[in-house]
Amino acid sequence: MSRQAVFEASLRYFLQPIGEFLDDPSITEIMVNGYQQVFVERKGQIENTVSGFHSEDALRSAVNNLAQSVGREISEDRPVLDARLPDGSRVHAIIPPSSRVGTCLTIRKFSSEPLTLEDLMGFGSLTESAREFLEICVRLRKNVIISGGSGTGKTSMLGALSRAIPETERIIVIEDTSELRLHQEHCLYLEAQPATKTTQSEMDIRELFRASLRMRPDRIIVGEVRAGEALDLIQSMISGHEGSLSTVHASSAVDAMVRLETLSLMSDVEIPVYVARAQVASAIDVIVQLTRSNEDGRRRIHAITEAGRLTSDQQYQFNELYTLKPMHLGADKNSDDRVEMQLTATGNVPQFGEEPFESGMADRIKASASMWKRPNTTA
C-alpha cells in the first residue's frame, strides 16, 4: 500500500464520525464546533445533526492526523491549520487556547465536477447574456475581480469563469490552499506553505506571486487576495500581465476596490494612499459581485460592474452593467403573480464596448449584443 493510500485510509478512520456527511453529495460544508456538536450546510441552509466525536481527544487526533498527512503542524504555538483532504476539500481547524469551545473543524467540500457558467445558468444565477458577456471579457484579457462574502461561491465562480481562457495560454494558479482544478492542459498550480519547525521560512502567496512572474505566464489566477500580495497583483496588471482573475472578500463593488486599496497598503512597500487608489482604479476592469440569500440560501450574481478611472476628487467611478432585479413571471395556480430575481442588463455599455469588434470577436456576440458598440467607421 502506498504512503498516500495509508494516509487516506487513516483519515477515513479518524473522520468516521462525520463520514456520512463527507459522502453525501448534497452537503457542501461540515462544521464541527467542539467534539459534541456538528452542523452541516445543505442547499445553502445550515442544519444541526445528532453526530459528534467520542471525545475531544478523538477530534484532536483526527486534526493531528490531517496535519501530518499534508506535512503541516498544529499545536498550541501554531493553533490554526489550513489544509485539504485527498479529494481536494478545504479544511480549516483551530484548537485551544485560541478556541474556547475545544477543537473546531470546518470542511468546505470539493465538487468532483467543477461548476461551469452553463451550470450557473441552470441554477438561475446567470443569464445567457451575462454568461456571454463575461466570457468575452475574459477573452479580451480584462482584469476581473470576483467579490463576495464567505460562502457566496467565489471560488466556484472563479473556476467557472476560468474556462473561458483559451487552451493555448499558459496559466499559473496561486492559492493559499489548493482548490481550483482548471480544464486547460497548460496549468501550473502553486500552493503557499507555512513555516514549520524544520523549515523556519514560509512560502506565502506574495512570494509565490513574485516567482510566477518569472515563469512566463499568460494568465495569473490568485485564488484569494487577502494581504500585501494585492499590491504585487495590481502592479502586475498595470505593467503588462492583463487578464488576471482573483477573488476578494467584500460586499459591493466599491468595497472591493477599497479593500484592494487597503490590502495594497499592507505590503512592505511604502506608497501614499492616493497612489494605491490610482493603481487599483487603473488595474481593475470588471467586478462580479456575489451574494447569498438569507431566505433560501441561494448563491447569485448580484451585479456585474465596470470599474472606471478616478474622478477629479480621487473617487472611484463605476458603470453598472448587470444588476439583480425582480422579474414578474405571470400568475400560477397558487398565487396571483410569480416574482423571480434575475440578473438583468442595465442598458449601459462598457468603455471597452468596441474592443470585441476590433479584436475579431464579432462572431462570438449573440445574446450580449446590447452590451457592445460597433466602432464608428465613417470618416
As a whole number of angstroms, the distance between CA 49 and CA 28 comes to 14
204: DSSP letter: -
Q: Quote the cell numbers at residue 132.
A: 456571454
| Residue carrying C-alpha cell 473561458 | 164
Residue whose grid cell is 433560501 = 296
Give residue limits of the domains in the chain. Answer: 3-108, 117-371
Higher pLDDT, 243 or 68: 243
State the Cα–Cα distance between residues 275 and 52, nearest whole angstrom.
52
- Phi and psi based region of residue 125 (left: phi greater than 0; alpha: psi -120 to 50; beta: remaining): alpha
- Domain 117-371 fold is Rossmann fold (3.40.50)
Q: Judge whether 91 and 59 are in contact, CB under 8 Å.
A: no
Class of domain 3-108: alpha beta
Determine the length of the chain: 379
What are the tens digits of pLDDT across the range 274-332? Answer: 999 999 999 999 999 999 887 777 889 999 999 999 999 999 999 999 999 887 666 55
Over residues 203-230, the pLDDT tens digits come to 889 999 999 999 999 999 999 999 999 9
- Asked whether 86 and 7 are in contact (CB, 8 A), the reply is yes
Q: How many CB atoms lie within 10 A of CB 163?
A: 16
**Whole-model pTM over 0.85:** yes
Question: What is the tens place of the pLDDT at every residue in 34-67?
Answer: 999 999 999 888 999 999 999 999 999 999 999 9
At residue 114 the predicted structure's pLDDT band, cuts being 50, 70 and 90, is: confident
Strand 38-42 with 27-33, pairing: antiparallel
Report the SS3 class of residue 108.
strand
DSSP H helices in 238-375: 253-264, 273-283, 355-358
User: Is 340 within 8 Å of 124 (Cβ atoms)?
Assistant: yes
| pLDDT category of residue 250 using cuts at 50, 70 and 90 | very high
